[in-house]
């Protein structure tokens, strides 16, 4: 791949701190792209990192920053120093000044490749609607449908839900350098990372835990995510459950190094069927076997890489999957090794960056 390619990467939110999947994805992909193309990153600053600004001051800062940024981008466009544009879409609402330079790019016929990370507004039966958020998302979505060269999605299943002539899957990836120890620890610790809410299957998991403990009393469960006081109160006397609250991306390798197996207990529905959780690749990067419910894309990925157990989305089935790994260390070790090698050999951020460049070079 030629280093002469000049890529503009637009991330309409802050990539620091890396406390959510979109920021992790953008940060990792940017640094992988830097090694193979000439990439210019445009990313919005975080209000949390600017404590001296009021909200009005922050808005004024953004407007001032946009004036400088817009001038520099226009100069790049005029000098033909942008070959392609990659956009991490829907991580935050676009502002009117974002559309100014996007329209300028389109006017110059520069190929534009938005990554459509979400289409949640299409599933009102699953997600609570927010009229203002829906308005912004649909406006942005409409712009991409009209102006994009090709659309990128986390999975083929998600791409198939969108009527657009040019579309590709660009799943999340992993980082094998984050594996601190490929050897499974001498414990029975099962780790869940993510949102501690029913939407992510935490209720199903809690019921599964009780079934497992009856048969494996020395099993331990670690739940990593944002605080859920109600659940923590319910579990305060359950010494086999540990909550790790508000941990950062930097903490994850240490947590997973002390983990025997990992779990994704999501409920099966049309939305979760096309999802590809970034945490799945983090689990695999650490060389840990994965227990997941049979959401289509996640289950397919696990099966293709022979790195875990697929269950139904109910407590008994999930408990059965957990027990199978707890009772068969050899199998757990095989799955963990396969997980790590899958990331190292074909699913690292380096591989994803190369895939993205190959897609863009088609146009």
CA geometry: angle 358, 360, 363, nearest 5 deg: 115
d(CA 203, CA 288): 23
Residues 19 and 97 in one domain: yes
Is residue 277 a part of any domain in this protein?
yes
pLDDT: is 43 or 359 the higher one? 359
Residue 18's pLDDT is 78
248 token code pair: 């950062």
pTM: 0.89
319 token code pair: 């408990």
d(CA 184, CA 302): 19
Residues 150 and 274 in one domain: no
Is residue 130 a part of any domain in this protein?
yes
d(CA 94, CA 66): 12
State the pairing for strand pair 290-293/261-264: parallel
d(CA 56, CA 58): 5
Cβ-proximal residues to 235 (8 Å cutoff; 6+ apart), any chain: 206, 241, 243
Nearest to 161 by CA among 271, 22, 299: 271
d(CA 27, CA 11): 9
Q: What is the CATH number for 271?
A: 3.40.50.2000
Whether cis (ω within 30° of 0) applies to the bond prior to 17 is yes
For the residues 281-307, what does the mean pLDDT come to? 98
Rounded to the nearest integer, the mean pLDDT of the chain is 89
Is residue 196 a part of any domain in this protein?
yes
- Measured CA to CA in angstroms, residue 344 lies from 159, 167, 283, 302 at distances of 26, 26, 13, 15
Q: Which uninterrupted H or E stretch holds 225? A: strand 220-225
Residue 45's pLDDT is 66
> Domain total for the chain?
2
Residues 159 and 256 in one domain: no
Residues 241 and 193 in one domain: yes
Please say whether the beta carbons of 304 and 273 come within 8 A.
no
Residue 48 has pLDDT above 90, yes or no: no
DSSP state for residue 235 in the 8-state scheme:
T
Residues 80 and 143 in one domain: yes
Cβ-proximal residues to 209 (8 Å cutoff; 6+ apart), any chain: 221, 240, 241, 319
Structural domain boundaries, residue 132 = 6-173+349-360
Residues 106 and 155 in one domain: yes
Is residue 74 a part of any domain in this protein?
yes
Is residue 1 a part of any domain in this protein?
no
Residue 191's pLDDT is 98
d(CA 134, CA 146): 18
Residues 185 and 221 in one domain: yes
Residue 142's pLDDT is 93
pLDDT band at 98 (very low <50, low <70, confident <90, very high): confident
Residue 123's pLDDT is 85
pLDDT band at 55 (very low <50, low <70, confident <90, very high): very low
Residue 334's pLDDT is 98
Residues 16 and 164 in one domain: yes
Residues 338 and 283 in one domain: yes
Residues 15 and 154 in one domain: yes
pLDDT band at 288 (very low <50, low <70, confident <90, very high): very high
For the residues 208-212, what does the mean pLDDT come to? 98
CA geometry: angle 323, 324, 327, nearest 5 deg: 80
d(CA 94, CA 25): 19
């Amino acid at each position: 791949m030629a280093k002469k390619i000049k890529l503009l990467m637009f991330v309409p939110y802050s990539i620091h701190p890396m406390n959510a999947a979109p920021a992790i994805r953008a940060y990792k992909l940017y640094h992988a792209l830097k090694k193979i193309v000439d990439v210019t990153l445009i990313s919005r600053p975080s209000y949390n990192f600017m404590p001296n600004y009021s909200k009005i001051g922050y808005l004024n800062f953004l407007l001032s920053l946009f004036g400088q940024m817009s001038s520099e981008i226009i100069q790049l466009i005029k000098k033909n120093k942008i070959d392609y544009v990659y956009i991490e879409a829907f991580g935050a609402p676009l502002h009117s000044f974002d559309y100014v330079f996007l329209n300028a790019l389109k006017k110059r016929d520069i190929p534009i490749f938005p990554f459509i990370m979400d289409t949640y507004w299409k599933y009102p039966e699953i997600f609570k609607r927010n009229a203002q958020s829906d308005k912004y998302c649909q406006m942005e979505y409409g712009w991409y449908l009209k102006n994009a060269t090709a659309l990128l999605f986390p999975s083929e299943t998600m791409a198939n839900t969108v009527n657009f002539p040019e579309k590709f899957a660009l799943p999340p990836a992993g980082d094998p350098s984050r594996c601190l120890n490929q050897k499974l620890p001498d414990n029975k610790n099962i780790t869940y990372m993510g949102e501690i809410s029913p939407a992510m299957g935490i209720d199903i998991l809690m019921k599964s835990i009780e079934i497992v403990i009856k048969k494996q009393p020395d099993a331990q469960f670690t739940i990593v995510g944002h605080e859920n006081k109600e659940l923590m109160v319910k579990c305060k006397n359950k010494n086999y459950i540990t909550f790790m609250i508000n941990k950062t991306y930097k903490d994850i390798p240490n947590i997973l190094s002390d983990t025997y197996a990992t779990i994704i207990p999501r409920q099966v529905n049309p939305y979760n069927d096309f999802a590809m959780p970034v945490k799945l690749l983090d689990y695999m990067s650490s060389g840990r076997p994965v227990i997941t419910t049979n959401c289509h894309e996640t289950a397919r990925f696990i099966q293709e890489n022979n790195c875990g157990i697929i269950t139904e989305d109910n407590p008994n089935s999930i408990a059965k999957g957990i027990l199978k790994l707890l009772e068969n260390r050899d199998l757990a070790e095989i799955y963990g090794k396969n997980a790590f090698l899958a990331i190292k050999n074909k699913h690292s951020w380096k591989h994803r960056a190369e895939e993205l460049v190959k897609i863009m070079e088609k146009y």
